[in-house]
Structure 1
């Protein structure tokens, strides 16, 4: 049904672009790449016309996401003589939301889209008091079926990571391997950061560097479990890659690249000390600004990519997107949980006003 609408429903460009946006959000747009690419010219034609804020913002974002270089000058028509966005736009919540999403496609030096982000963010925050109060309720915390006594047990989070990285069906086996690796790394991270004592960690590090099953003899029982999980997982993955691609990757997987050191300080604490900031919130604000600038650099680079390296670059961008999805709220309990994101993306039915089932 989606392919039929893409091929024949050209009388309403907003409806067509909204469908493309929905397919991309669901992670299934790759099924319709040819149809979507053929509609790019229509998006170019649309974006240069006189349309509302929602339509222009949506078409601009879709074109940028497809790797087309589009000038943000298309938004000049929504600005007043003082070079600011017109205040009456704040009443158009749908348009403001679309403008805010589009503003994240800015590249370094694009002051217009940076201004669009600040303008839309300000008015969207101000409008929250008028929304359904149920939207402001705290999301239920993630319940874990099997929680280790000292470590995080987050299979849903690991799964969400892999879906964000490789959403296409042909990467199913890759998702499984990466999810297993991430799950084990979460446990090891907690062993090093909070549970293991220094003497135990020295023994464990030595065992990993030697990559010898006999090295676990002097480890405490809980570390033997961690080591065997890591050892078996790495070797299993290495055997699969060797069998299917003829490449022995275990030396690369076990290579020591990180510097030895003591406790690892958080980025917030480092930023606060380096810049002489008084509060944690000031440091968070500075890091948010750094993230925004990094996204501008990534957006610029993605436009210049060749088709040859596009799959690798796409996965790298997906890693950045998924990282921000999972970590952007920090410890804010009011934010949607990983379980909520999983349910809304993959489990709960999709309701589209006016849609007709096949």
Structure 2
């Protein structure tokens, strides 16, 4: 669905359920109204001169320099010029907190709803990306329901209901057994082809199958079965709305995507569904636009921080990818309350990207080894042993970690960044090993590369930071 501008303010909030979402593209995160008057650079990549960072090394070492070039960023400092109306932002927040949350909480906790009805509503809240507002209520509902699970599903023969219950329970850490799907098998031990006649049930089973564990063979079978039957559907057999939703789901499953992007697509689907609840649709739209404004504000902060570092003239071989790096953090947690966590994760990842690019794209092997030794010390005094250009990198990483720690302490969060420091030290060991392979022209075995490559992606560093800090409810 193509959606046009969605406005907020005292005069429009009361009619918001009748206003479409502000994005034109289903998968875009940035509101068209924020970006339409601001152009993004389309200049072709240019080759950089590296004279300003020439290493303090011999000619032999200089000849082994990789000298890899990365294309310029298409974003630059674009987000610094994108306006965000704080009064609009605050109006959204007030509407969500004072109106929408209480109304939907009453729906969720209604004494007139059965356990299955509540679980279905929870699934809908997850799909619309508003379940995070009711974590304690959902935990309470699911805890009580899981204790009587056998009774809830003993006579249930609806595929969609069982699949929804399976997905919701597993998302929230309750291990509902995959044996619940055995009832949908035929005498030959395979899922009955007749189950595919239930298109919505088949689609839901496809989603739920992604939460199967490696040893749960029936979930592997379910994934193959559902994809085969869903791909064979034509737009003449079902509504165009459901058909498009299925195509989007098959293109990229929910658990392979960024949650808020999945919600964006689902909101468009849900709006066209007969009998949709207007209050939920309104809440989902408000929340999505509130998230968008958070993301724009966060990108402004990260872009300004990156620009103020002014590293490009000093280290022109590095990648300028602040927006792309930010999206990595967004994939971990999209909720508004984790705004500071996304900012910190973006800064930390950008700082570590300096190290990665240096080891991969510029430094000689002896220089990588010296940088490795400096990180093992984790002391600004170790800079004296580094070439001048590496001092910039080393200082940036250490000061970024220290600045994050100080900001957290100023907010009364006295956790430890030691896990992140330890993981960074381990990361440098892996970078050194990979540099040795590259400089020697050695092609490692798949097993050897994966042993190092998975950890060299720096995901452990990010996870160590995120786990330590997001659990503290950063805002």
TM-score w.r.t. length of structure 2 = 0.46
Partner of 2:433: 261
SS at match of 1:109: coil
Distance 1:264 1:91 in 2: 57
For the pair 1:215 / 2:383, whether they are aligned, the reply is: yes
SS at match of 2:109: helix
Match of 1:47 among 153, 156, 171: 153
Deviations for 1:149-203, whole angstroms, at most 9, x for unmatched residues?
Answer: 5333333444344344455655443433222111211232122122333344344
| Shift in Å, 1:50 | 2.8
| Shift in Å, 1:122 | 3.0
Match of 2:354 among 148, 166, 187: 187
Instruction: Tell me: CA distance 1:150–1:114, structure 2 relative to 1, closer, same or farther (3 Å).
Output: same
Instruction: For 1:164-179, list aligned pairs within 5 A.
Output: 164-166=331-333, 171-179=338-346
For the pair 1:36 / 2:138, whether they are aligned, the reply is: yes
Distance 2:220 2:247 in 1: 31
Greater Rg over alpha carbons, structure: 2
For the pair 1:201 / 2:368, whether they are aligned, the reply is: yes
Instruction: Tell me: CA distance 1:97–1:186, structure 2 relative to 1, closer, same or farther (3 Å).
Output: farther
| Shift in Å, 1:60 | 1.5
Instruction: Tell me: CA distance 1:181–1:74, structure 2 relative to 1, closer, same or farther (3 Å).
Output: same
For the pair 1:120 / 2:226, whether they are aligned, the reply is: yes
Partner of 1:82: 188
Match of 1:107 among 213, 228, 235: 213
Instruction: For 1:277-292, list aligned pairs within 5 A.
Output: none
Deviations for 1:15-38, whole angstroms, at most 9, x for unmatched residues?
Answer: 643431243355543432343244
Instruction: Tell me: CA distance 1:214–1:42, structure 2 relative to 1, closer, same or farther (3 Å).
Output: closer
Partner of 1:226: 393
| Shift in Å, 1:86 | 1.1
Partner of 1:309: none
Match of 1:24 among 126, 131, 143: 126
SS at match of 1:196: coil
For the pair 1:2 / 2:104, whether they are aligned, the reply is: yes
Deviations for 1:297-327, whole angstroms, at most 9, x for unmatched residues?
Answer: xxxxxxxxxxxxxxx9x959x9xxxxxxxxx
| Shift in Å, 1:80 | 0.9
Q: Which moved more, 1:106-115 or 1:254-263?
A: 254-263
Contact 2:195 2:202 in 1 (8 A): yes
Deviations for 1:277-300, whole angstroms, at most 9, x for unmatched residues?
Answer: xxxxxx9xxxxxxxxxxxxxxxxx
Number of positions where the alignment pairs a residue of Structure 1 with one of Structure 2: 272
Unaligned 5+ runs, structure 1: 139-143, 275-282, 284-311, 319-358
Contact 1:162 1:179 in 2 (8 A): yes
Contact 2:351 2:396 in 1 (8 A): yes
Contact 1:47 1:60 in 2 (8 A): no
TM-score w.r.t. length of structure 1 = 0.59
Distance 1:22 1:178 in 2: 29
Instruction: Tell me: CA distance 1:99–1:247, structure 2 relative to 1, closer, same or farther (3 Å).
Output: closer
Distance 1:239 1:180 in 2: 14
Contact 1:57 1:98 in 2 (8 A): yes
Distance 2:121 2:416 in 1: 44
Unaligned 5+ runs, structure 2: 1-102, 237-242, 253-298, 451-463, 471-475
Deviations for 1:228-257, whole angstroms, at most 9, x for unmatched residues?
Answer: 321321222344566756677569716733
Give the alignment's Cα RMSD to 1 decimal.
4.5
Instruction: Tell me: CA distance 1:52–1:152, structure 2 relative to 1, closer, same or farther (3 Å).
Output: farther
Distance 2:361 2:156 in 1: 58
